[in-house]
Amino acid sequence: MTLLCCAHSPLLVLHSHSPTAPTANRHFPPPRSTTARPSLPSPQRRRFFTPKPNPSPLPSFPAQPLRRFSASASMPSPPDNLLCSRAFWVSESIIAWNVDVGDGGSSYLFASKTANLSITEDVGVQGEDIKVKLEEDSSGLPINVIEKFPHIRDYSAFKVPPGLDVKLLLKCQLAVAAFDSDGKCSNATGLQLPGVLDELFSYSGPLGAIYSSEAISLFLWAPTAQEVRACIYKDPSGGSPLEIVELEETSGVWSTKGPKNWDGCYYTYEVSVYHPSTLQIVKCYANDPYARGLSADGCRTLFVDIASDTLKPEGWDKLADDKPDVLSFSDISIYELHVRDFSASDLTVNDKFRGGYLAFTLQKALSFLDTLVVSHSLLKLELLYWLFSMDLEFLDSAGVCHLKKLSDAGITHVHLLPTFQFGDVADEKEKWKSADTKILEKLPPDSAEQQALITAIQDNDGYNWGYNPVLWGVPKGSYATSPNGPSRIIEFRRMVQALNHIGLRIVLDVVYNHLHGSGPFDENSVLDKIVPGYYLRRNTDGYIEHSTCVNNTASEHFMVERLIVDDLLHWVVDYKVDGFRFDLMGHIMKRTMIKAKAALFSLTKERDGIDGSRIYLYGEGWDFGEVAKNGRGVNASQFNLYGTGIGSFNDRIRDAVLGGSPFGHPLQQGFVTGLLLQPNGHDHGPHAEEMLASSKDHIQVGMAANLRDFVLTNNEGKEVKGSEVLTYDGSTVAYASCPTETINYVSAHDNETLFDIFSLKTPMEISVDERCRINHLATSIIALSQGLPFFHSGDEMLRSKSLDRDSYNSGDWFNRLDFTYNLNNWGVGLPPKAKNEKNWPLIKPRLADPSFKPQRSHILAAVENFSNLLRIRYSSPLFRLKTANAIQERVRFHNTGSSSIPGVIVMSIEDGHEGLPGLSQQDPTYSYIVVIINACPTLVSFSSPTLRARTLQIHPVQLTSFDHVVKSSTYEPSTGCFTVPPRTTSVFVEPRKT
């Protein structure tokens, strides 16, 4: 995410998000900016949900309206309410409270099983069943409590007397009150319970529906519940329960054993529990947090044996043996893709499968293409397009053919945007609304009518990125041919299997940092109904934190962490996925990430059917909100992940390449977009030259995998480490200990596409040919860097979203992908008003200008050039060095210091060869590689004594490419002089002597 704005969720919160974001607009990353970093805005609006009628004849919810307050709203002052929970029951014997009782004062704990507590001015708290005197502990909170709850480190400690039945009290409405020496209540508040719940009820046994040969057992962790019942249904919705089963509790876990004929039926839990948002004991109706199947829209949980052979595609159990091999994480390259984007607009896909899992399985065309006697891939693309135009039945999917092309070139992993059960898209397609594309296609390219038609139905169509989780452990129903029954399970597995068979591993985008719903009545709420106040992170007033968008989760709590780790294991073992990208990973604790990695790595092919050592983890390591600076414990932020082998998005290289940041002015230029070298009229201030030089330093550090200890010469001619190179706000650029801890990228689903960014930041008068070269130039930096390259789907096809900066809910129209390479989706109307209106004056003239629109020949060339970059990367292991030491030994940057040529990066990678003692040989083909990136609008020449007298030549891939410009690059051995055309990356290699 690059911006802090919940782009995925309809709950607009902040305005930014950084990578994949940083990427930008959905969440908020604290991105790196070339200007002073703006302060993060507070939430601006949130949705308050109204309860839907219960579909069954079970007892209805309480009629009293839900009282819920935003943490940003003004809070009533104590002691006039109990909606606030400013005290923390942190262990069985200690309550932490930021209150001074004073000399002669006293404090008490109050409990009411029927939630009858109230506050009066004269008496204080009344209505209790139990009143317990507390004693202040002058020694303060113990160190273990401070480590777990660092945000309350300065609170006073109050001792709970021994002998109390604490477990029983935790099922009650609770409050503490302080009284002065005259007996008058001076303060009263509710309690937050996660600390004591973790101490007394941490549990590692079975949860969910557990199948045995003779029964199905249910297990639910709900230690604060007073009663739990399972309502069993025959159908996915409607009707009365077949039976209602009372569950029995043992140490906070409720369970029951039922017959095997429950299989294929559905169930919901009825949980009677005190909910602090209502100050009442309420009956909550919820799905199983460990659900493995659902009915449409998560109405009910499906009883399903996920291990049943009937749910497995042919050959499923042997898939681990068929997976494409990745020898090292350094060999990974990632292609980010949205399930619906992939095929929703692909007319070569059967309309029953468009936008869903099965679109990835349509591979009949591939065997046919393999028989074509066509040596050049670009010619094959042309022939493929012609065949599609003939509408031949044996050619099923242009999208799959495109993925196969990328796989053949070198892409190893497809990163799928959220595929778990998320909100705001109905699972049943007949409920969707759609705009008439025939009308949309007739409108002018700069018209506001398209976005008006799209936004009118955007909350009722089939589109959303999916960053609004409801249940983590079940595939999204809207992507399946049927949302009821086991179809979504079978079809998801077929998708994984199909992608593996064309050489691609699967990364799932997981969103454990927040949940879409909360409270006892929200139809999207699950966890907060079952153990209210536990799963969601709260501020010191007791209100839910919303810095990630809405309803932040609290992985610092034991059972939250356990649920996350269990869920990851489930997706790997039961769906055989190959990695995870963590949304707003910085809001998850580092400990959780390390536990997750250890649990996954312990999986074996023999025991679990999967090789856990091949599972790669990465995410958004932004450090902001309540977790910033380890405010809730050591979090999984970029700098904290040093040494873990877990990757995080490198927003430094993104911002340096493009210019500014997702928070800055859209015209702010960067290294490849013309800063200083080809101004666009935007006032960059008096320090443009310094900004360009610093941008080059940032990029060079990124190209060396953003290693903290990599030594290079900076723009001032000083030898510095990567950790000593600073951003414009004084932050350190480098943070990684090894190359696999860095995800280099310049574009992701957040923010504008790469082509759109260049259409904004470059001067309006340059040609579309030049913009296409800049697109390729930016991509080349990522493709040829050490560390892991990450690419947003469509950037290789000049993808446009008509300059939409946040298309999370902009429908298929603005998010369209065309794998027949006919259109790039430029100029389909002004982007949606809500996120883009302030930039419409910049956007409108560009969309209206026909010279901005690429032709089909540009798109085909872009696809070919991108594929060539991948082929170059995988032509030599020197582009994919495995250790920090190997990078430091072999990678050098030339053209450095104060006298360097602006806008030019020269990188060499040296392999071991005869006459060079101490450096091992890794590449059997090349002994030396030189990469020259010329971001200038003019040809440049660069000479280096270090690079003289070598047998360098243009890389064979570039020499045989359709890009005639790069072929004019030259090298003169006698002088060590290179000449490189404008806006070109040239790769020179020295073949190993035979």
Structure tokens at 286: 């919820």
CB 712 within 8 A of CB 702: no
DSSP letters of 34-81? Answer: SSPPPPPPPP-------PPPPSSSSPPPPSSPP----TTSPPPPTTS-
DSSP string, 433-502: ----HHHHHHS-TT-SHHHHHHHHHTTSSS-----SEEEEEEE-GGGSS-SSTTHHHHHHHHHHHHHHHT
Q: Which two tokens stand for residue 911?
A: 């392999």
- In our burial notation (b when 16+ CB lie closer than 10 A, e otherwise), range 337-356 reads bbbbbbbbbbebbeeebbbb
Token pair of 51 as six digits: 């309860």
DSSP characters over 934-958? E-SSS-EEEE-GGGTT---EE-HHH
2: part of which helix (H) or strand (E)? Answer: strand 2-3
24 — alpha (psi -120 to 50), left (phi > 0) or beta?
A: left
Pair 79, 104: CB distance under 8 Å: no
**Could you give the residue numbers annotated as active site?**
583, 620
Classified as helix, coil or strand, 715 is: coil
93: how many CB neighbours lie within 10 A of its CB?
Answer: 18
Q: How far apart are CA 402 and CA 585, in angstroms?
A: 31
State the DSSP H helix or E strand holding residue 541, giving kind and residue range, or none if neither.
Answer: none
| Rounded Cα distance, 6 and 488, in Å | 27
Q: Are strands 225-233 and 266-275 parallel, antiparallel or unpaired?
A: antiparallel
Q: Where are the beta strands (DSSP E) in 836-920?
A: 891-894, 904-910
Q: DSSP letter at 330?
A: G
Distance of alpha carbon 732 from alpha carbon 359, whole angstroms: 43
Burial status of residue 977 (CB atoms within 10 A of its CB: 0-12, 13-18, 19 or more): middle
Cβ atoms of 835 and 801 closer than 8 Å? no
> DSSP string covering 545-589, please?
P-TTSSSBB-TTSHHHHHHHHHHHHHHHHHH---EEEETTGGGSB
**Helices 754-761 and 768-783 sit at what angle, rounded to 10 degrees?**
130
